[in-house]
Structure 1
């Protein structure tokens, strides 16, 4: 009955979530008024990008009638097919052929043509008409203009802002007739903060201390405490592992084992010691090229060797070597620049001002790595890393690499970066084919973003200097946006991997620019940026929503309430293990193989290598944090995949958020959840107090707040019902889960009954939701 009841609740929640997603995907149904001053960047370009640029944009191969509408000079000049006419005549819509063609009733002349299935709305037509009337002024794409620090806006309620962030947020709320929520209660606020900064729920002591601290700086002290915890580095590493496509296998068909985990240890270490973002990225891009590079700096370059590598015989080596370089180039574009650079791999970008030649100029920075397409086929330890590689000795882990958790004396090798002594030639590849060499090119960067300075060396170190040039318009904006997404669930730019023409416009452009410039002005200090975000009044709001706010801002774009969304897959496991007392707090080291349904690897493998058969780990390895679960690319961990974890095939800067019945079924039946329920129940039974007290403690450990009277009554009644109806045989089956030793001489029926109560608490929607 319990499982049926939980399934009904889960399906109900799923339906509500689907309805919410439908609202989100449908966009804003209400058409806003035409602004007094129409902006090309924020009003016109999105229309042209969606409806016009496919035929009249940057891609010369797809351009119709020789007309480009993305460039002012082309839009203003005489039409190729009608020299006496112009697409756009500034100030005169009635003489602008572009405007006449979008307003005509003649379907043979109408643009976009009906056959394209694209259609402009009345508001879009009016915007274009007003823009032309106001002078049809073009602007460089907002994301390709270096940010300037705007003035802090004025607000009516001067008492609300806690820092500069809040002025930007409140100003926009007030302009839209909204007010922010009250601050969340201390229990929920602490839980939100602890999950965001450590990926773990707060301990009972943290809860008690925080509730008892009535000082004005109680929250600030808790922020500082959590930022100083080693678990902070583990939490922060997750988004970077997704971006860097970290995995424990090489990928492709054989999908053999790789020992890239020391690089993961370094990422955790770098976040914990608050390595500033410019150094953090520079070491990863070009640590091997730094003067007198240390082993730590070289290890950091494992970042760009996390891509898939084949071990299959019969392949064409050069084809795969080019694929590796392509992967690194595309990662640089999406992960660090926030643009879809990969779209220019085969032809000029259709929407953004990136030519195919510029794509291969970027490609040249990564094309000189001393690697081959296939080095060795799947086999023993010598294949766990591919050249160029670095060996980590016992002396290293006692000295410069002491953060590497090397527990045995086995040989440990890691794939890193290292260039050839000579320069490998780079060509534009016709249609992107590895062997179709076109024009030879040298290293360079897209001019639309920032031309490459002659003062920078034409290698990866020079590329890093270009990346952190104060004139680079993207680097700071992109990372600030990724961190905002981590704490608020949605980036200021929703399309966090696409700041280009087809990406979403920023919801708060002035705030994004202010944060980006402020981040640079303070030396790219990541912890400082994190603290700014989590100490803002915006962050501390209650997540409670009203019908009025839902009507005005259903997706909470204006942030008039606190964030509410499901936590990442890894943190669901962490929460279960931590609250039950099972968590193994060891930081770093090799990945582990916890419980998994049998036969998954065996049914999807070539039958060769260390990862052909799933040999589950035992003992304390079963209770490591979710981030240490071994990721085999062809068969990623199923329980984490159900909760939208990345399989790490490619760079991923934003995870999907889905709601499916499988998630409810997993929480009800996963061995880790059931084992944690048993262990926590057994621990509670050892305490000499009443059952309601035991249930209240379990609730606090799992949900991080005290249950209200009704909740406690319902759970206590459920416990009494279970205790009454369970027999020894059924109870014995209920508790027969997991490998953690069963407490000796324990009352089996009492354990099973309390275990089911604890399992119910784990299955609450609130348990796995940040709110």
Structure 2
């Protein structure tokens, strides 16, 4: 790329040419009105980031002409090779060389250069010009400024809002010439909120009660009922398991067994108890450092919570460098803290200063120091008792043992199914402080300067009154002045209900992340969340009782053209439910679901040979897939055993995380493989057979049976046309089904076929129910 300073020197003083260009630029427009006050954060920096900062940004190795346009100090100073010129002159675009370069008709001088294939639009040019005229004011990155609770914005449709959320949503819609949808019909709304709050479809009695409840607060009463359900904690735990990279094996080549599931039981319990978020994350970061409550009532619970920081992958391979992998584990904890709790790409500063955000490599290792003192051992824990070699004996130091007495008294929420030894990896620091150094280029043994525990100053300086350990880090994290913690979690909860966050890049609130679509709403919710004691259930209730959430999914061609991604939320979102919930819906609607909460993970149906083909040796505990039987087969999807090197295929096909690392949002795909799962998965076929058998035992006609199956699965009554198609299909199956094929059709799954039943009718109705399960609407949040 040609040197900017040289070309700026050429055009310096060419006032006449500039005036001609300026005249042209002020007449250009793309039809969208410019904001009254141009914001650097929300209007200018996105332009610079896309079109300019590759050559004039934070990366010193790629910087041209010594010019940085992302910081005021550099942008306003004299140019390197022309001290009389400046890239920006506040209030005077005609003297700002950077602006002159983006409007020049001379392609040899134009910036960005034509060879870059980048071009500023007329609106972008006008925004930059207006910003310079208004003083070219730079701002600290929006996410690093503590949120403030703005006043509710003005709206025209004053009868629409149900709570404060709706004012912000409607205000933005009205600015863009849109209006919200009408409220969804009751059947679809009940399905939506039931799946969102519990991960389970409503049963027939709930549907009937809600459809006949004429009270004005009928919906709110259903929400309150769902929030009290034990299944609420299971549903809410799902997103946290992804963030915490929970799995049932250690990962790497020798992918062996681990027993972290009691930590998962604790997460479910914490959500059901509505533990405040500040305490929820404090216990997970530093429960081992907290003072034990009087009587030791929850000391073990606090310690168990720290399993969060031990969920990372651990190698069991021989001949590895112990220190190299220990540093890898600390790095994982550090990066999970950054991405999961702060919503920043902290890992980019592992090898060098962050190229876009104001985080130095030194600050990375200062934060690293908080996690660097763990007294961990890679070797397998070997208890001296008869349980040696059992899965329950596998944990890595530091660890805690959960006794039967603990489960009866202190840790009643743990579903311990037997009397064998149960051990969980937790946190615990060395007695002597381990020194922390900057690692040159991120290499584990390339020591640079020694550093002390600290936090990125651009976010919030570390309070000297806080202890310099993980407890102090947790206190810094939940400090009301920390600009990220509440924003990031509120955004994640919003994402759970609308499919995308107010900030789409839920793990990157930094300068390369996407801007919030509704910044005032995000800040309002974040401040309100803190003011209300970090109350998660209250936040969830606010969202699902809003008029915004309750809209129908219907989209007109006009709305689709104006807002194809539904950023403005003028309709409800529509996408398939999470992978685990697909299984839950199938099991619950068929009556097979085992509603037991917590306990060890289970191994449901899986194509043969997957684990065996990927086995790398070891003691063989996970070398062979041993499918469970009986009630364990029908546990909720979240309890499916996750072997990191071979994640469950039916979950992976529906976009579940393989839990290798912290994930703060799943992709949402729509692929033919998903249809193949729904058509061929033994769980779906077995559920179809079991539900058909139960319906055939009822004293009712085939029309009633099919209508009931439709309601159980789709959660609404079928239309006459839908009912007619399904009845016709049943008749066709009865005519074409051959007796010799019956055993093959019905021989799926472990659940027994009733002895005294018309197998032909059973197979035909099974096929009809399987078709209903395969409707797109069945597994879609609508």
TM-score by length of 2: 0.93
Matched with 2:166 is 166
Deviates more, 1:382-391 or 1:179-188: 382-391
Answer yes or no: is 1:384 the counterpart of 2:390.
no
Structure 2 residue 293 is the aligned partner of structure 1 residue 287: no
Question: What corresponds to 2:24 in structure 1?
Answer: none
Answering whether residue 738 of structure 2 is matched by residue 727 of structure 1, we say yes
1:219-258 correspondence runs (5 A): 219-258=219-258
Further displaced range: 597-606 or 554-563: 554-563
How far has the Cα of 1:81 moved from its partner? 2.6
Take 1:383 and 1:114, find their aligned partners in 2: how far apart are those partners?
Answer: 64
Partner of 2:96: 96
Query: Quick check: 2:555–2:571 contact (8 Å CA) kept in 1?
Result: yes
Partner Cα distance (1:153, 1:146) in 2: 20
Contact 1:318–1:372 (8 Å) recurs in 2: no
**Residues 224/31 of structure 1: CA separation in 2 closer, same or farther (3 Å cut):** same
Shift of 1:382: 7.6
Distance in structure 2 (CA, Å) of the matches to 1:121 and 1:511: 29
The offset of 1:215, in angstroms, is 0.6
Note the alpha carbon deviations across 1:291-318, whole angstroms, 9 max, x for none: 1270000000000100000000011111
1:355 aligns with 2:366: no
Q: Are the structure 2 counterparts of residues 112 and 314 from structure 1 closer, same or farther at C-alpha, using a change threshold of 3 Å?
A: farther
Candidates 319, 329, 333, aligned match of 2:334: 329
RMSD: 1.6
Residue 430 of structure 2: which of 409, 420, 435 is its match?
420
How far is the alpha carbon of 1:381 from its aligned partner?
A: 4.3
Q: What does residue 766 of structure 1 align with?
A: 777
2:523 aligned with 1:513: yes
1:313 to 318, 324, 347: 318
Comparing 289-298 with 262-271, greater Cα deviation is found at 289-298
Superimposed CA distance per residue, residues 236-269 of structure 1 (whole angstroms, 9 cap, x where no aligned partner)? 0000000000000000001100000000000000
Hey, what's the Cα distance between the residues in 2 that align with 1:58 and 1:380? 53
**Tell me, which stretches of 5 or more residues in structure 2 are unaligned?**
1-29, 294-298, 383-387
Structure 1 pair 71–629 and aligned structure 2 pair: CA distance change class (3 A): same
CA distance in 1, matches of 2:63, 2:453: 28
Aligned to 1:22: none
Q: Distance in 1 between matches of 2:668 and 2:301?
A: 36
Cα distance in 2, alignment partners of residues 367 and 61 from structure 1: 31
2:663 corresponds in structure 1 to 652
C-alpha contact (below 8 Å) 1:53/1:350 kept by paired residues: no
1:702 deviates by 0.3
Check 1:373–1:318 CA distance in 2 against 1; reply closer, same or farther (3 A cut).
farther
1:580 maps to 590
Q: Please tell me whether the aligned partners of residues 234 and 268 of structure 1 are also in contact (alpha carbons under 8 angstroms).
A: yes
CA–CA distance in structure 2, aligned partners of residues 520 and 34 of structure 1: 34
* Closer/same/farther in 2, CA of residues 461 and 733 from structure 1, 3 Å limit: same
Over 3 Å counting, the alpha-carbon distance change for 1:373 and 1:120 in structure 2 is: farther
1:677 correspondence with 2:688 = yes
Rounded Cα–Cα distance in structure 1 between residues aligned with 2:766 and 2:345 = 49
**Local SS of the residue matching 1:83:** strand
Residue by residue over 1:380-416, the C-alpha shift from the partner in whole angstroms, topping out at 9 and shown as x without a partner, is 6486210111110111100111111001111111010
Partners in 1 of 2:276 and 2:772 — Cα distance? 40
SS at match of 2:448: strand
**Matches of 1:265 and 1:32 in 2, distance apart?**
52
1:183-202 equivalent positions in 2, closer than 5 A:
183-202=183-202
> Which deviates more from structure 2 when the two are superposed, residues 411-420 or residues 377-386?
377-386
C-alpha distance in structure 1 between counterparts of 2:365 and 2:261, whole Å: 31
Q: Which residue of 1 aligns with 2:643?
A: 632
Residue 85 of structure 1 pairs with residue 90 of structure 2: no
Question: Are 1:749 and 2:749 matched, yes or no?
Answer: no
CA contact (8 A) 2:379 2:396 kept: no
Tell me, yes or no, if the aligned pair for 2:393 and 2:423 is still in contact at 8 Å: no
Alignment of 1:591-630 (within 5 A): 591-608=601-618, 609-630=620-641
Q: Is the 1:703–1:767 contact (alpha carbons within 8 Å) kept by the matching residues of 2?
A: yes
Note if contact 2:141-2:511 (Cα within 8 Å) is conserved in structure 1: yes
Q: CA deviation at 1:683?
A: 0.2
Alpha-carbon spacing, 1:715–1:351, altered in 2? closer, same or farther (3 Å) = same
Distance 1:375 1:319, change over 3 A: farther
Deviates most, 91-100 or 49-58: 49-58
Indicate whether 1:468 and 2:478 are aligned: yes
Is the CA contact (8 Å cut-off) linking 1:59 and 1:348 kept in structure 2? Answer: no
Q: How many residues align?
A: 742
Aligned equivalents of 1:601, 1:106: Cα separation in 2? 63
Per-residue deviation, residues 54-99 of structure 1 (Å, max 9, x unmatched):
3332333443333222211121111223222212111122222222
Q: TM-score, normalised by structure 1?
A: 0.94
Corresponding position of 1:14: none
The 3 A distance-change label for structure 1 pair 680 and 52 is same
Structure-2 change in CA distance of 1:420 and 1:55 (3 Å): farther
The alpha carbon displacement at 1:114 in A equals: 4.4
Higher gyration radius (CA): 2
Deviations 1:672-723 (A, max 9, x none): 0000000000000001110000000000000001001000011001001101
* SS class of match (1:601): helix
Alignment-derived partner of residue 7 in structure 1: none
1:740 aligns with 2:751: yes
The CA deviation at 1:282 is 0.3
Q: Secondary structure at the match of 1:292?
A: coil
In structure 2, distance between residues paired with 1:178 and 1:88: 38
Cα gap change, 1:482/1:394 in structure 2, threshold over 3 Å: closer, same or farther? Answer: same
- Distance in 2, matches of 1:485 and 1:199, equals 15
Q: Name the structure 2 match of 1:4.
A: none
Bigger mean CA offset, 220-229 vs 722-731: 722-731
Quote the residue 2:507 is aligned against. 497
2:70 and 2:245 map into 1 onto residues whose CA distance is 34
Once the two structures are TM-superposed, the CA of residue 551 in structure 1 deviates from its matched residue by: 1.5
Deviations 1:159-195 (A, max 9, x none): 1111111111111111211111111111111100100
Alpha-carbon offset, residue 565 of structure 1: 1.1
Identify the match of residue 455 of structure 1 among 458, 465, 478.
465
Q: 1:461 to 1:62 in 2, by over 3 A?
A: farther
Q: Deviations over 1:333-361 (max 9, x none)?
A: 11111111111111111111111111111
Deviation at 1:106, TM superposition (A): 4.7
